[in-house]
């Protein structure tokens, strides 16, 4: 292994100065940047997971208006939380945040803890989210690593994605931690991983104060300039410090992940009518859209000789005891969920027998179509509700 050469203080000082100057001029005005309230920061960070900033803006303000404090969120019914989350997707985030709010009220007096390990034990909070909350809200010197900063650091280090032998961190007694590089310009990590190197880099670049703003600047640079495709190197404030740019390999770093094969899936849903009511059920734990309400839907096999409508009737009777007479086909919807490309056929059906009380069963309800406006549904469930309302 080549002898290590430290990324010295001059490099770090230049990087921090360039980034701060750029961020002061280019930071977006976002609603969650107006407060250092740890609750508001927490809500924004959970919403921003796998979701575009433009989408989160409206949801964030509406959510805080409904649940302005940790106590308010903890006391809310989970269904109300999911209803406000509707359309953001990845609904487990909302359920975990609701659960975590209860823990904060019960175990921490409704205050957000400042200890990183305690925060990371909350449902739905990992190392990145904990670091973001603590640095932004409390100016704690906590590193962050998410998609934008991973890409930024990978290019700064010309990290080609090797799983071993790609970098290291040195720490001498009484000295600051230092990233080290081989004379050839690559970083080396003894018996460890590229992920650990990136976390080490995220920690090494942090200043001693104003870490929250600095972490946001890192994410902003990755999100606006150091783009996945066609990075805007001409406008990058840290371009002179970027090893990938110097080597002309910035567009190939980080290496593209293999795309998961898209699997076609055929499902069908029933709008079951009993007089002026339609049938909905609560999606079970462990399944897709757990905790949300939906019209009965099932996987179907179009290759079977039995008509799809008959398949639906049989499955509905087996799972709920409701017996129906299948009616006409109403619509076909296409949508994607994770690796599945789903074709959803919707059929009308008339109730014949089975559970028919209009009471509020926990898992099965008969509702007037207009009542569905108050129920948390998936995106396709909402489209079916609109269809049911139009045909009411």
| Mean pLDDT of each 10-residue bin along the chain, 392 residues long | 52 95 96 94 95 93 97 96 94 97 97 96 96 97 94 91 43 39 40 76 92 97 95 96 94 86 91 94 88 92 75 89 91 89 93 70 85 94 92 71
pLDDT of residue 284: 86
CA–CA separation, 342 and 358 (whole Å):
32
In a domain, 343, yes or no: yes
In a domain, 139, yes or no: no
Largest Cα–Cα separation, the chain: 80
- What the block records as the tokens of 271 is 């709008």
Q: Of 45, 142, 220, 267, which is the active-site residue?
A: 45
In a domain, 17, yes or no: no
pLDDT of residue 372: 95
pLDDT of residue 392: 66
In a domain, 299, yes or no: yes
Domain with 367 in it: what CATH number?
3.90.79.10
Q: Are 199 and 5 in contact (CB under 8 A)?
A: no
Check the CA dihedral 100-102-107-109 and report its sign.
positive
Domain count along the chain: 1
CA–CA separation, 164 and 181 (whole Å):
15
pLDDT of residue 7: 62
In a domain, 368, yes or no: yes
Q: Which of 28, 90, 13, 38 is nearest to 59 (CA)?
A: 90
Placement of tokens 């823990």 in the chain:
103
pLDDT of residue 143: 95
Q: Is 117 a catalytic residue?
A: no
Instruction: Tell me which H or E stretch contains 336.
Output: strand 323-337
In a domain, 297, yes or no: yes
**pLDDT tens-digit readout, 108-118:** 999 999 999 99
pLDDT of residue 280: 94
In a domain, 313, yes or no: yes
In a domain, 49, yes or no: no
pLDDT of residue 245: 95
Instruction: Tell me which H or E stretch contains 151.
Output: helix 147-156
Domain that holds residue 274: 263-390
Q: Are 365 and 356 in contact (CB under 8 A)?
A: no
């Amino acid at each position: 292994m080549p002898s290590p050469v430290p990324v010295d203080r001059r490099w770090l000082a230049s990087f921090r100065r360039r980034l701060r100057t750029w961020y002061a001029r280019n930071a977006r005005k976002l609603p969650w940047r107006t407060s250092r309230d740890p609750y508001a920061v927490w809500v924004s960070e959970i919403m921003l997971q796998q979701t575009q900033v433009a989408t989160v803006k409206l949801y964030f303000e509406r959510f805080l208006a409904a649940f302005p404090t940790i106590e308010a969120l903890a006391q809310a019914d989970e269904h109300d939380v999911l209803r406000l989350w509707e359309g953001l997707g990845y609904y487990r985030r909302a359920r975990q945040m609701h659960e975590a709010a209860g823990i904060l009220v019960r175990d921490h007096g409704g205050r957000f803890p400042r200890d990183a390990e305690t925060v990371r034990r909350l449902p739905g909070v990992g190392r990145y989210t904990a670091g973001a909350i603590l640095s932004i809200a409390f100016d704690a010197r906590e590193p962050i690593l998410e998609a934008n900063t991973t890409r930024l650091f990978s290019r700064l280090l010309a990290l080609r994605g090797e799983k071993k032998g790609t970098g290291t961190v040195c720490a001498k007694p009484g000295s600051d931690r230092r990233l080290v590089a081989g004379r050839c310009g690559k970083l080396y990590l003894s018996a460890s991983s590229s992920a650990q190197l990136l976390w080490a880099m995220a920690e090494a670049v942090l200043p001693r104060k104003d870490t929250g703003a600095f972490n946001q600047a890192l994410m902003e640079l990755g999100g606006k300039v150091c783009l996945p495709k066609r990075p805007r190197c001409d406008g990058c404030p840290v371009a002179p410090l970027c090893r990938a740019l110097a080597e002309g390999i910035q567009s190939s770093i980080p290496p593209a992940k293999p795309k998961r094969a898209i699997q076609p899936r055929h499902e069908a849903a029933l709008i079951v009518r009993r007089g002026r009511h339609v049938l909905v059920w609560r999606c079970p734990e462990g399944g897709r859209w757990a905790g949300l309400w939906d019209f009965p839907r099932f996987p179907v096999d179009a290759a079977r000789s039995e008509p799809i409508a008959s398949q639906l009737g049989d499955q509905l009777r087996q799972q709920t005891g409701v017996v129906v007479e299948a009616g006409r086909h109403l619509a076909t919807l296409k949508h994607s969920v994770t690796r599945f490309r789903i074709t959803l056929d919707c059929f009308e059906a008339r109730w014949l027998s089975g559970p028919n009380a209009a009471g509020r069963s926990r898992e099965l309800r008969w509702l007037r179509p207009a009542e569905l406006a108050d129920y948390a549904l998936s995106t396709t469930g909402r489209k079916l509700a609109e269809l049911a309302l139009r045909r009411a």
